[in-house]
Chains A and B, each alone.
Chain A
Amino acid sequence: MLILGQSGRGKTTLLHLLGGLLPIQSGEIRIQDQALSALGGGALDQFRGKHIGIVFQRAHFVQAMSVKDNLKLAQYLPGVKPEVSHIRGLLSRLNLADKLEQKPRYLSVGEQQRVAIARAIINQPSVLLADEPTSALDDENCHAVLDLLEEQASSVGAALIIVTHDQRLKDRFARQITLN
């Protein structure tokens, strides 16, 4: 699903609400029959880590850690037992098998984006949220990243929600919401 809208229309706010990063003031958001507003503090953080994967506009990592440790961190923090074999498999599916021990800052922007996607789906979330994943990319890469997101979301059975103002994406998705 695509959420479209010009800058300042509240796209990111909506995404943060969906991801449980912002507290809900009225209404309700349910993910896997769990109302986010019913969860507080640490429980919400843990729920987010386990069931919601988020890909940000620019890929960010814990710089002091290797690619492998960044992925382990994504498993460890919400309380999933880190499994290196799982990480290895995921990275080789994304053609990143040789980057396992590298520090993220030595990777190219495209590689960083792929690692960020790997991190978002590592716990097999039910929802994959992406905030402007293509705005900084040229046409070719734009579609490669979209393919990857769709492919990875369906591989773990997650619903994909993309927030963007990028008009190139309009024709690819059947379900769209436009914020005015």
Chain B
Amino acid sequence: MKVLVPIELVDGVPLPDSLGVLEQVSAAGFESWALVCAGDAHAVSAAVARHGCAGVLVAEDDVFASPAPAPRAALVADLVAARGFGAVALATSVLATELAAQIAARCDSSVQWALTGLERDGDTLRGLRATHGDAMRATVEWLAGPAIALFRPHECSPGEPQAQSAPIEIVSAGTLPRAAVAIEVLPGEDAGARALDSAEIIVSGGRGLKSAQELDLVRDLADALGGAVGVSLPLVDMGWAPRAMQVGQTGTVVSPKLYVACGISGQIQHKIGIEKSGLIVAVNTDKDAPIMSFCDLGIVGDLRVVLPALAAEIRAARKA
């Protein structure tokens, strides 16, 4: 089965999540095709072609200078009909979610989301979906095609680019609808979410903190580790930190190599936001807090004592 994977670009660079989905679809035994839509797609399509796909389709049009999903959805629907793609797979992002929904409406088919994998059984396509706050996996099927499959955020990370390059084909974008929604990407200000999205180490504070000043303990440990600072939802609600710093299902879904949760009980929305992290370390006075069952190292103790001690220990280890 042929599967089309639209590649999301940020500042002209492919989003790692998109490349990860492209590789995952190939690894599951499908013929995966990347789609690159850009004003000038030359360099980026060559880079995408080295991520284990059957080919890269390239559409160049001024309309793609804006990240708006509408013209992309129209193009995908045309390609699905003209070239017989059985499925369209995407990595969840703010824009990809809208794109997936619009593709489904145009193709008169349906979306399954929060997917952790795609499998094939002969000609039947199956998705695995995280449900019940990641406690369960549902197996889902599409009854009518094309199947629109939206992977969880950060579910698939790409490997190193391969030496071998897939063929690149220019497709005619035809006449695409102009987007009815104008999207302006605001530069600079409030870069918190972006910093969290790409951070390798994140230290977060939660309701275990007794005051906004105690966030300094979290900042100091983050500083010792060379990481970014996040918070859980209650701290945003109390006005101790801006929304851009919020880690969780309704904030930023993160996947650092190391996530340290300080005074965070681990409500389901927070769990969903961090479960793709490498190592999870929790500091909590309550050994029965939910987070203690989905971490790698649980430190039972008062963060006011533990955090300064950890920061000192890490700094000593770095010096040694």
Please determine whether chains A and B interact with each other in the same assembly: no
Q: Which residues of B contact A (CB under 8 A)?
A: none
Q: Which residues of A contact B (CB under 8 A)?
A: none
